[in-house]
Structure 1
């Protein structure tokens, strides 16, 4: 499998995720030191889903991120452009209505959802600003968005250690637990190149999202950005 590059050609990124699908959730748990489960819970709380609401879970992978939303009573639609991820998810969680879809051309009507979320996927989209506008399109007026993405640790000494872990330790750990460790070299590079919390907030606002705010998790390793579509 050829690893994806930071120009994020869609076919390369999709092929990369196809290749890691089988052990993706396990690898994430190991590499995050178990924090991934806490981050998923934080997304559910930030999105504040109510029973019966329609929720788009974009870049849902195998659907693991969708389960907390479903458990809260939402009708969640897990969507991803990696067919390998979707096949793995359908085998493990056949009750989920998994949908193949491109973040830049979502296969949903305007205002189809009460809320939307994307966890650790916006960073891998070829055109981030277009994806944010497309999410705005499919969420109804007054609907919410939560973006969960790797960010920049706020404490400088920890930030230095974290970057060292990303670029050196993460690919080595991935070799022990992942079926395609080269993919995690790309993921480490993409995390380091991603904008900081304020930078992403500006991009949400520029895409049309209102009431934009963020909250740091794990010292800023991850940030939750929240936005609302104006009425």
Structure 2
């Protein structure tokens, strides 16, 4: 700890240190810390999504699906897919001749998603894989579409994850990153901060009996790269024709990139 403090005071950067919300932690520790957060919130995740966003998250996801261009017979990877909202829609679109993989690094979230989709009668063309986005266990040039919704900001090495996604994407395939971002209005930003740091943790305590996890989620959004930075990160690993579209005044953004 003294060494980390001395580095901070000298301005020296430690490549072994990363962000966990507003805290600085060893990179080797972050994955387990994030896992603890999502183990804690998994059972109430869907309920909290509806409450936190007043149901607007469904519109953000619907827009993502509309931008996917996915067709029957194609392969889709829904990465950090959690409780399966996107995977459920893609399963119906690709039909029996296609395949959807719902992947998540967190076993608790993956099991909640599997139970939810099985209860919806979604079986046959969907598989569940526990996977780390930074080292995806899939062949090169395998998927027509990869989506990652509200998961990239929790990844320790985002550039490594983007490069891994690029590797397993087919030439001509596309990546869609739906993530919280930076509001475009200063007024909206102030209102959003007040909501995130004062209301959201209290809601987490009331509904999920977990104030600290939702405080982390609010902090993780603030530490995530802004729209232009994330687009550049996608370009740096090889994605082309990149673009982003702000939703709800930039509270959320959908980034798109292609592999050619």
Could you say which TM-score interval applies, normalised by the shorter chain? over 0.9
1:23 aligned residue: 44
Of 95, 98, 106, the residue aligned with 2:136 is 106
2:66 aligned residue: 45
Query: Displacement, 1:97?
Result: 1.4
1:66-145 matched pairs, under 5 angstroms: 66-73=87-94, 75-94=99-118, 95=123, 96-145=126-175
8 Å CA contact retained: 1:119, 1:149: yes
Q: Structure 1 CA distance, aligned partners of 2:210 and 2:107?
A: 16
* TM-superposition CA deviations, 1:153-182 (whole Å, max 9, x none): 111211111112111111112212224332
Q: Structure 2 CA distance, aligned partners of 1:12 and 1:151?
A: 22
Q: Secondary structure in 1 aligned to 2:241?
A: strand
Q: Secondary structure in 2 aligned to 1:104?
A: helix
Query: Does 1:64 pair with 2:85?
Result: yes
Structure 2 unmatched runs, 5+:
1-18
Of 32, 48, 53, the residue aligned with 1:11 is 32
Structure 1 unmatched runs, 5+:
none
Q: Structure 1 CA distance, aligned partners of 2:104 and 2:210?
A: 19
Greater mean alpha carbon deviation, residues 84-93 or residues 180-189: 84-93
Instruction: Give the number of the structure whose alpha-carbon radius of gyration is greater.
Output: 2
Query: Does 1:33 pair with 2:48?
Result: no
Q: Structure 2 CA distance, aligned partners of 1:215 and 1:149?
A: 11
8 Å CA contact retained: 1:23, 1:179: no
Question: Aligned residue pairs: how many?
Answer: 227
How big is the alpha-carbon RMSD for the aligned residues of Structure 1 and Structure 2?
A: 1.5
2:14 aligned residue: none
1:193 aligned residue: 223
Query: Displacement, 1:5?
Result: 2.9
Q: Structure 2 CA distance, aligned partners of 1:44 and 1:89?
A: 18
8 Å CA contact retained: 2:88, 2:117: no
Runs of 4+ in 1 over 6 A off after TM superposition: none
8 Å CA contact retained: 1:77, 1:98: yes
* TM-superposition CA deviations, 1:175-202 (whole Å, max 9, x none): 1222433211000001011121111111
Q: Structure 2 CA distance, aligned partners of 1:201 and 1:144?
A: 14
Task: With the length of structure 1 as denominator, give the TM-score of the two structures.
Answer: 0.94
Query: Does 1:221 pair with 2:221?
Result: no
User: Which has the higher relative contact order, 1 or 2, with Cα contacts under 8 A spaced 6 or more apart?
Assistant: 1
